[in-house]
A and B are shown apart, each in its own frame.
Chain A
Amino acid sequence: MSNSAAGDLARMCHGIAVRLPRMPEMEEVRANLARAAGQVPALKSLRVWAEPVAFPAGDARSARRRATELRRAPAPEGPGLRAVFLEYADGPAELVIVAHRAVLTRDGLRGLAGVLTGSGGPAGEPPTPAGPPAPAQDAGARTPAWGLGDPARAGRHSAVALGPVRASGEELVRAASLVLSRYTGGEDDAVGVLRDDDAEAERACVGVVLSERRAGEEYEPCAAPYFPLTLWAERQEDGTLRGECRFDEDAVAPEIASRFARQVARAAERLAAGLPGAVEPDAEEIAELLAVGAGAPLAGHAPTTIHAAFEKVAAARPGAVAYTGEDATLDYAELDRRAERRARALRGLGAGPGELVGVCLERGADLVVTLLAVLKSGAAYLPMDVRHPRERLRATVEDAGARIVVAEDFPPAEGRTLVRPADLDAAPEAGHADGPQASPDDPAYVIFTSGSTGRPKGVVIPHRNVPALLAAVADDMRLGPEDVWTWFHSAAFDFSVWEIWGCLLTGGRLVMTPYWVSRAPHEFHRLLAEQRVTVLSQTPSAFAQLIHADAGTSADLAVRLVILGGEPLDVRILKEWFADHPPARCRVVNMFGITETTVHVTAQTVTAREMVERSRSVGGALPGWTVSVRDPEGRPVPFGAAGEIYVGGAGVALGYLNRPELTAERFVDDPYGGGRLYRSGDRGRLRPDGRLDHLGRLDNQVQLRGFRIELDEVRAALVEDPAVRAAAVVLNEEGDPRLDAYVVPAGPGPAVPAEIRGRLGRILPDYMIPGTITVLDDLPLTVNGKVDTARLPAPSAGAALVEEEPAPARGEGPAAAMLEIWRRAFGAPVSLDDDFFELGGNSLLAIRISAAMREAGLPQITLRDFYLNPTIRGLEAAMTTR
C-alpha cells in the first residue's frame, strides 16, 4: 500500500448528483434507508449526511462544493459508499452519492438515490450493492515513457478541456489508439475503455472514459483519473463529445497531456468525417515541433574559412602563445608563419582546393602546423592516427584518394606522395606563393568514422561549419584569450577539431597532451594543474577516470569549463567532481554531437539538479543548429515520444566521401522545409522546452529471445548500482544468445556479481538481466576515449555466480616473473619480502606493475592488493588463494 493505493480508491469511484426541489426530511430519508436495508443488508452500514450550504444552488461556490463532494472517495474502511444531501440557501437540495464502481453501477447509484428520496418509482426495488471492494491491486508500471511526468508530483492530478469533438465515442477510442501509436512508435496502441456501468477496465497508460448525459443528474465517472492519461468524454445534446483530459502529474506533464488531447480530438474528427491521415501530424503541430527543436539564429556571423578566422586572431595577438607542448612552444605569429611556409610547399606538390592531404603524425607542433598548412594550401586535411593499424591507414588513404600524405612513417602506396614535415620546411620557397584559395563552402577536413557496422566512411566537413560552431558557443561559454585548452584527443577523432580550432580561433593557448599522458589519469591531472588549463574536453568514460584521479590529489585545478561529449553521459559520475568543483566555479556542459554535424549539436549545462534527477538531457540545439525527432517515415513525432534524432543547420556535413548512395540515405532534404538534415541513427526525445533527451543508439536496440532490449537501458541500470562505477553491456550471440555485462567497482569494496544481479532483478525485467557479469578494473577505451566493446574480454566463466577463476599458471612461478617486473620498475634488484611502499612505490607504479603483469600473463592485481599485500610473497599468496 502506498500513495498509489490510496489514489486507486478514488480512481475506482464514481458518483452522481441528483437535483431535488427541496431538502427532504432527514427522518424520512433514514426511514427509507432502513426499509431498503431490510431487503439489502449491505445498506445497513450506510450513513446519510446532511450538509447546509450557505449559498444559493446556482452560485459558483455551490458548484465547487458539489464537485468536491462528487470527487470525494468513500472511507477506505467501510461500505465503499457515501451519501450526502446538500441543502442550498435558496431552497433546492441535491443528493450526492459516491460509490466504488464494484459496489454500485451507475444505474445502482440512480436507484439508491430513488430509495433515499422516496422517489424510487412503484417497483421501489433497492439496488444491491456488492460487498466492500477488495483492496486495490498493485498498479504496476503504468507510467508512460513519453509522458515526461514529474515524479515529485505523485498523487496529484490535473485536467485540460477536451472538445467539443464532432465524433462518436468509438471514433474517439480509435483516434486515441492511433495517436498513442505515434507516441510509442507503434509498439503500443492499447487504449483502455471505461463505460458508465463497467466495474473496471483493462489497465493501460491511456484510456477513454465514455459517459452518457442523463437529464436530472450530474455524473462524475472517476473521482481521480482512471488511467494515467484519461480522456473523459460525455455526449452532449448537440451530438458532440465534450469532457476533460485528466492526468496524473507524476506520469504525464501538462504540456504533453494538452497536446495529446488536441491530437486525439483532431484525429477523431477526421475519422468521423471519413478524411484520410488521421494519424498524420498537422501543419501546426509540425511547425511547433520544428520551431522548438531549432536553436536561436546565428546572428551576425558571416561564413568564413578556418584559416582566415585563424589569421585574424593571429594578426590581432601575434605574440600570444598559441601552442605549448613537450616539443615546442609557438606564438600565434610563429604558428602562422610556419604553416604558411608549409602551405606553399604543399601547393608545390599539387595541393589546392578539391585536393585531400593525408596527415598521419604524432600529436605535437608538427601536426598542428601541418593541419593549418593544409587548410592554407586550399586543400582539405585527412587526419589519421599513427596508432591505427598500417593496413587501415593504407586503406583509408586509398579510399579517400589522397594523393599527398604528410607523415614520418607511412605504409608506401602506389601513386601517393609521402612527405615528411621536415621535407616541407626544407622545400625551396620560390614560386607557388599564391594559389587559388579555399572558399567557406570547400571541404576543410575529412574524418573517417567506423560506425558500428560496415566499413569506415569519410565525413566531409566544409570550412564554414567550424567558425559557425565557435560563433554558436563562444559568447555563452565566454571563450577567449585567457583560456588554456587541452588537446587531448587524436586528430582522427573530431573532438580534436573542437579542441584545436576551438582554442586557436578564440585566441587561447593549446596544451598538447602526449598520448601516454592521455591514457594515465594521474599524469593528465598533473598536466592540468601545471598548465593551469581552463577548458577541458573529455568523453564521459575518460572523465570518470580523471575524477577518480582528482579525488586522490590535493593539486589545485584552474578548470572553469568541462565539455563532455562523444558518448552518453551518466550524470551520476559527476557526484564526486561536484563535491570538489562546484558548478559555480567550474561549469560542466554535456554536449551531444556527431562527426556528420561538426562535433557538437546541443549543449546542456549539468548541475547538481540534473545529477539528482538522473537527467538524460543533452540540452537544446546550439544557435544555428536544429534538432528534430522523427519516425521511420521521417515525420516529426510528438513531444515526449522517442524517435530518431535528425540534425540540421550550420553543422551538417557535405556528405560521405565517394559514397553517394550512403550520403543520399543519411543526408536528406526535409520535406517540411528544414533544409538539409542528417539522420543520426541516435534515439532521442524532444521535450516541450526544446531540450533533447538522448536515449542511445537505434542500433543498440537488440532482439533477445523475442524481446526488444535497449542495451543502454541495461547499462544505465548497472551504473545505478551502488557497487558499480562504470559498466558496458553487449549482446553475445555465440551459442545461446545472452547479454554480457562488464562492471568496474565503485569503491574499494568488492563488486560481487551475484549481488549486483540480485539488485538488477528489482529494476529490470528478467529478460533484461545479463547472463554474465564480469568485474574489470577499468573498461577498455578506444583511441578516442570511448568504451571499446570490441576489446572487452570474454566473460569470466560463470561470472554471474562464481567469483573469479584462478588464471592458469604459466611457466615458472609468478614470483620469479614478479621479481623481474619489480626490478625493472624500481630500477634495482628486490627480494621477495621487500615492502612495495618502503621501496618508494606509489599508486602510479602499482598501475604500471599491474599492467606489466598483465602483459606477462600473470593474474591481475589491483591497487588494493598492493595495499593489503605489499610484498611479492604476499601478492603471490593473494593471487593463488583467489
Chain B
Amino acid sequence: MRLSGKTALITGAARGLGRACALRFAEEGADLALFDLGGDIDEVPYPLGGADQLEHTAELCRKLGAAVVTATGDIRSQESVARAVEAATDRFGRIDVLVNNAGIVAPSGKDLHEVDEREWAVMLDVNLTGAWRMTKAVVPGMLPRRSGSIINVASTAGLVGYRRFAGYVASKHGLIGLTRAAALDYAPLKIRVNAICPGSVRDDPLVDGRMLVEIARALDVPVQEHEGTFAQGQPANELVEPDDIAAAALWLAGDDSRRVTGAVITVDGGYTVR
C-alpha cells in the first residue's frame, strides 16, 4: 500500500475529483481528513458539495479501511480553513498530503466585460486564494518534519485559454503560478508542490460528478448530448475518467515522486498538445 501511514487532507471531497482521490488514497492505506463546503454560494449557479455527500465519501473510505475525519466550511474563510486543519491535526497528529481540489467552474459563459465584480471575485477567491489559504494553514505542520506533498488540482484552463471562461482560466493559470512559486519556496524543506491539469472529465455518477454538465450549461451545449460533444473535441475521442486524475494524485502523494516538485502534469488525453 503506497500511502500507508500517511494522512491526507482533501478539499472539495464531497464529490467529483475530490471523492475520486479520497477513495483511491483510502485504497492505498492513507487516513483522510475530508473538507467541503456543505452548502451553496450565491454567485455559483449550481449546488455545491453537501454535508451528506461528504459523509457519503467518508463512509466509502472507511469501508476501504481508512480512518476519516470530516469538516465542513467555506474555503473563503480563514477561520473555516483553520478549523479544518486543526481537526485533522488533532485527530491524526499530522498532515502529510494536501490536495487542493475545491473549485468552481461557474459563474462563466460570458465575455469578460460582462462579468461583474462579485462574480470575478468569487472565482478567484475559491479557485486561487482558497488554495493559498489551505497551503498557508497546512505547511507550518509539515516544516518540522521536512516532508509533505501538496497537490493543486488545476485544469487545462491553467495552460490554454477557453472562450467565455475568463475568470476560471485566470484563476487556474494563477494556481499553476502559485504551484511553481510555492515549489521553490519549499524545495529546500522537502515539501513538494505540484499541479495536475485535468482535461474534460466525465461526470461519473459514482462520484456524483457534475462539472462537465455545468460547463455545458455555461456554453449552451445541450446537456443530453454534452458528453459526446466534448469527447469529439478530444484527440483520442474520449473523455478523461476521475480515476485517471486520482492515479496522478496518488503518484504525487506517495514517495515514488519524491524528487518531483513544481511539476504541472496534464491528464487530458492530449488535448493541450494539439
Contacts and interface: CB of A to CB of B under 8 A. Distances in A.
Interface of A: 1-3, 5-6, 47, 49, 51-55, 61, 64-65, 68-69, 72-78, 82, 84, 155
A485 B31 CA distance: 63
28 contacts: A1-B143, A2-B144, A5-B144, A6-B94, A6-B145, A49-B69, A51-B67, A51-B68, A52-B62, A53-B62, A54-B64, A55-B65, A61-B65, A65-B65, A65-B67, A68-B5, A68-B67, A69-B67, A73-B94, A75-B89, A75-B90, A75-B94, A76-B141, A77-B89, A78-B89, A84-B91, A155-B145, A155-B147
Contacts of B63: 54
A69 B5 CA distance: 10
Interface string B115-151: 0000000000000000000000000010111110000
Contacts of A3: 144-147
Contacts of A82: 90-91, 93
A52 B67 CA distance: 8
Contacts of A55: 65
**Ranked 6 nearest A-B pairs via Cβ:** A6-B145, A75-B89, A54-B63, A1-B144, A73-B93, A54-B62
Nearest to B95: A75
B271 interface: no
A47 B90 contact: yes
B59 to A, nearest CB: 8
B96 to A, nearest CB: 11
A77 B145 CA distance: 14
Interface size class of B (residues with CB under 8 A): 20 to 34
**Which of A6, A65, A74, A78 has the most chain B CB atoms inside 10 A of its CB?**
A6
Nearest to B145: A6
A53 to B, nearest CB: 7
B186 interface: no
B64 to A, nearest CB: 8
A165 B35 CA distance: 49
Contacts of B64: 54
A72 B62 contact: no
Contacts of B92: 72
Given A49-B90, A73-B93, 15 more contacts: A1-B144, A2-B146, A6-B94, A51-B62, A51-B68, A54-B64, A54-B65, A65-B67, A68-B31, A75-B90, A75-B93, A76-B93, A76-B144, A84-B91, A155-B145
Nearest to A49: B91
Contacts of A64: 65
B67 A6 contact: no
A64 B63 CA distance: 14
Contacts of B141: 75-76
A42 to B, nearest CB: 15
A2 B90 CA distance: 21
Interface string B61-95: 01111011100000000000000000001111110
A153 to B, nearest CB: 11
A634 B190 CA distance: 47
A84 B90 CA distance: 11
B262 to A, nearest CB: 22
Nearest to A78: B90
A49 B91 CA distance: 7
Contacts of B145: 3, 6, 155
A443 to B, nearest CB: 58
**Which of A69, A76, A155 has the most chain B CB atoms inside 10 A of its CB?**
A76
B9 to A, nearest CB: 13
A155 B190 CA distance: 13
A645 to B, nearest CB: 38
A220 to B, nearest CB: 14
**Which of A61, A73, A75 has the most chain B CB atoms inside 10 A of its CB?**
A75
Contacts of B147: 3, 155
Contacts of B68: 51
Contacts of A155: 145, 147
Contacts of B69: 49
A6 B144 contact: yes
Contacts of A73: 93-94
B114 to A, nearest CB: 47
Contacts of B143: 1
Contacts of A84: 91
B119 to A, nearest CB: 39
A329 B117 CA distance: 94
Contacts of A78: 89-90
Contact of B93 (A2, A51, A53, A74): A74
A75 B69 CA distance: 15
Nearest to A6: B145
Nearest to A45: B90
Contacts of B5: 68
Contacts of A75: 89-90, 93-94, 141
Nearest to B5: A68
